[in-house]
Amino acid sequence: MADLLGGHVSSKRTFHFDERLIESLQDLAQREQRSTEELAASLLTQAIQQRQAVDARQQDWWSLSPREQEVAALVCLNYTNRQIASLLSISPETVKSHVRNVLYKFNLHNKQELKQALEEWDFSAWASSPHP
């Protein structure tokens, strides 16, 4: 497993894994009828892309105002705009405005996309006591 980067760089890179990880990788490669090196490079690429997506979502989150974060969290908890407005003592129109801003900052089109983008996040603390 010397060149896990698939020849994209001029020098070879070596990585050291524990024996169980190597065995799992070899077993999976065999089942997929791929070389161990090809599979390892593919998995590493996927992991990096996934991490970059998570990092981008976190940056998007920190670009939100505290009120936008609050509204986004409640949207992800399946609260309706009216329920959010009631909880936060703001008008439904103000909620709509915050939702629009959140979607814009996340480059999304609707609340369902927002829920999917943040589906791995735990917003349970926001349900009982929204943050000021």
Q: Give the per-residue pLDDT at 68.
A: 97
Give average pLDDT by consecutive 10-residue segment, the chain, 132 residues.
46 72 89 90 87 86 96 97 95 98 97 95 81 54
To the question of pTM greater than 0.75 for the whole model, the response is no
Q: Give the per-residue pLDDT at 52.
A: 84
Contacts 24+ apart (CB under 8 A), 12-17: 15/40
The helix or strand, by DSSP H or E, that contains position 51, with its residue range, turns out to be helix 36-62
- Average confidence score pLDDT of the chain: 86
> pLDDT for 64-91, tens place per residue?
999 999 999 999 999 999 999 999 999 9
Q: Kindly give, in sequence order, each residue whose CB lies less than 8 Å from that of residue 105, ignoring residues fewer than 6 positions away.
A: 60, 63, 64, 68
Q: Is the dihedral of CA 119, 122, 127, 132 positive or negative?
A: negative
Which token pair is 43? 């998995």
Q: Identify which of 3, 109, 128, 121 has the alpha carbon closest to the alpha carbon of residue 57.
A: 121
Q: Give the per-residue pLDDT at 2.
A: 42
Q: Give the per-residue pLDDT at 10.
A: 45
Distance set, CA 34 to CA 21, 22, 26, 30, 48 (Å):
16, 14, 9, 6, 20
| Cβ neighbours around 91 below 10 Å, total | 12
Q: Which three-class secondary structure state does DSSP give residue 50?
A: helix
**DSSP-assigned letter for residue 13:** B
